[in-house]
């Protein structure tokens, strides 16, 4: 029974990783670069969520749970625009500059975003106002319980991921994204505006990441500026676990990582759960560098 409870918790956490991993994997798909700034964009989602929530709670004092919807929209739009801006300013000029320069530039952006968050909002732990998060839950058996928050997290992430999957598979833009990730040169010859597609990837990835930041902060209730780094690295592990560049892979990888981590924390030791996550990453990369669903070996030499 305890196992089932752990699995439920693990899948909830896994869905956070999956949402953030999508951003990494999409960017890696089209640009073949690790967007080190993605974790910090995700963290900005948490801060912007807090700021806009405080603002909105100030206007509507009735405290309806629906006021989360405008917050989600504000956060998603702002972080998405920030993502596009980052790509335009820091990555686009470096597309032909080898493989080291974009890494440094991305790390630089991560420094800027983190330092900005720390200085604007302060280095202390931030707490979300209570009353926003739905309380209560469903007691399935005496030991197993799913809280309303967990349920809403799962529903929201499922909707977002299914929506993204359909978008990538069914729409014109989605098809173009897949084409660019396979071969940017040929895509250009086929009349695809590669720059625009990349911009759109940077709109969707960080947008989802921003929403994930908001949800994570709501779920845990408090966070600080190191959230981006710790969560970002694990989400990236999730992306590799599933096979980087592969969108369903990121979702599966995220879920898997969440479950493994929760089980490790529950049955081995919470102190070592991060170490276990990293060791799993290393083992996977040693034996199956393409991840669970990855077919092509991403070799950018």
Q: Where along the sequence are the contacts to another protein (CB under 8 A)?
A: 28, 32-34, 89-90, 93-94, 97-105, 107-116, 118-119, 229, 233, 236-237, 240, 271-272, 274-275, 278-279, 281-282, 285-286, 289, 298-301
Closer CB to another protein, 69 or 275, in the complex: 275
Q: How far is the CB of 82 from another protein (least distance, A)?
A: 14
Is 235:17 a contact under the CB 8 Å cutoff?
A: yes
CA distances for 179 relative to 34, 193, 221, angstroms? 19, 11, 40
Closer CB to another protein, 27 or 160, in the complex: 27
Is 190:179 a contact under the CB 8 Å cutoff?
A: yes
Closer CB to another protein, 37 or 252, in the complex: 37
Q: How far is the CB of 267 from another protein (least distance, A)?
A: 17
Give the 3-state DSSP-derived string for 145-187, with helices as H, strands as E and coil as C.
EEEHHHHHHHHHHHHHHHHHHHHHHHCHHHHHHHHHHHCHHHH
Q: How far is the CB of 28 from another protein (least distance, A)?
A: 8
Q: How far is the CB of 203 from another protein (least distance, A)?
A: 20
Is 65:134 a contact under the CB 8 Å cutoff?
A: yes
Closer CB to another protein, 165 or 229, in the complex: 229
Residue of 266, 285, 166, 153 lying closest to 219 (CA atoms): 153
Q: How far is the CB of 216 from another protein (least distance, A)?
A: 19
Closer CB to another protein, 110 or 227, in the complex: 110
CA distances for 105 relative to 86, 89, 99, 112, angstroms? 10, 10, 11, 11
């Amino acid at each position: 029974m305890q196992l089932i409870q752990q699995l439920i918790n693990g899948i909830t956490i896994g869905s956070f990783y999956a949402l953030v991993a999508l951003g990494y994997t999409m960017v890696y798909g089209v640009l073949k670069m690790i967007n080190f700034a993605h974790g910090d964009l995700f963290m900005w989602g948490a801060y912007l969520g807090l700021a806009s929530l405080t603002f909105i709670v100030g206007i509507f004092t009735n405290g309806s749970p629906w006021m989360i919807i405008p917050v989600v929209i504000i956060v998603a739009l702002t972080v998405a625009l920030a993502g596009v801006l980052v790509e335009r300013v820091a990555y686009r000029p470096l597309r032909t500059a080898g493989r080291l320069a974009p890494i440094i530039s991305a790390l630089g952006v991560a420094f800027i975003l983190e330092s900005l968050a720390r200085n604007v909002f302060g280095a202390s732990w931030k707490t979300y106002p209570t009353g926003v998060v739905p309380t209560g839950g469903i007691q399935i058996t005496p030991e197993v319980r799913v809280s309303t928050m967990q349920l809403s997290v799962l529903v929201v992430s499922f909707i977002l991921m299914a929506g993204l999957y359909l978008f990538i598979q069914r729409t014109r833009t989605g098809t173009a994204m897949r084409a660019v990730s396979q071969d940017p040169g040929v895509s250009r010859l086929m009349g695809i505006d590669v720059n625009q597609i990349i911009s759109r990837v940077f709109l969707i990835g960080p947008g989802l990441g921003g929403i994930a930041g908001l949800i994570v902060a709501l779920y845990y209730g408090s966070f600080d500026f190191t959230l981006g780094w710790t969560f970002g690295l694990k989400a990236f592990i999730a992306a590799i676990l599933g096979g980087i560049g592969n969108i369903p892979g990121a979702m599966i990888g995220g879920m898997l990582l969440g479950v493994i981590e929760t089980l490790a924390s529950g049955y081995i030791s919470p102190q070592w759960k991060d170490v276990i996550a990293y060791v799993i990453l290393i083992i996977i990369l040693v034996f199956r560098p393409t991840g669970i669903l990855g077919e092509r070996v991403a070799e950018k030499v």
